Amino acid sequence: MFTDAPTDNHGKGETFSPTDLVATALVSCMITVIGIKADKHNWDIGEVKGTVKKVMLDSPRRIGQLIVALSFKNHRLSQAERSLVQTTALTCPVAHSLHPDISQQVQFSFD
């Protein structure tokens, strides 16, 4: 695996930065644990897509906020199952591992 710092932080910005990987780990962890829960309960979660936006802070340079959007298309989830999906995502291991100073905003869309 290759990483690089962004151009605004002495890098070439040619590949993912370590903080990009942290952001990606959060959204991928959420989708993974949702898939595990869906398999366990035989839920049809349809097509799941996730995006994440990382907001960096200075002094010290660090991740300040991660904004996750999870979209479920062609699912067959009841309202109660949707609630459990949300709780599952918000309590994934990566979400629990991040420092509490990192704001995590998660939006769910059930189309």
Q: pLDDT (tens digit, 9 = 90+) per residue, 32-58?
A: 999 999 999 999 999 999 999 999 999
Q: Quick check: 87 pLDDT over 90? A: yes
The model's pLDDT over 94-109, given as tens digits with 9 standing for 90+, comes to: 999 999 999 999 999 9
Host H or E run for residue 92: none
Backbone angles phi, psi at 103, to 5 degrees: -70, 130
- Residue 103 corresponds to which tokens in the numbers above? 């704001």
Tell me the domains of the chain and their CATH numbers: 7-110 (3.30.300.20)
- Residue 8 corresponds to which tokens in the numbers above? 């605004």
* Number of continuous H segments (helices) and E segments (strands) in the chain: 3, 3
Contact predicate 71/42, CB 8 Å: no
Query: Around 91, how many Cα atoms within 13 Å sit in the side-chain half-sphere?
Result: 7
| pLDDT (0 to 100) of residue 18 | 96
Backbone angles phi, psi at 50, to 5 degrees: -135, 145
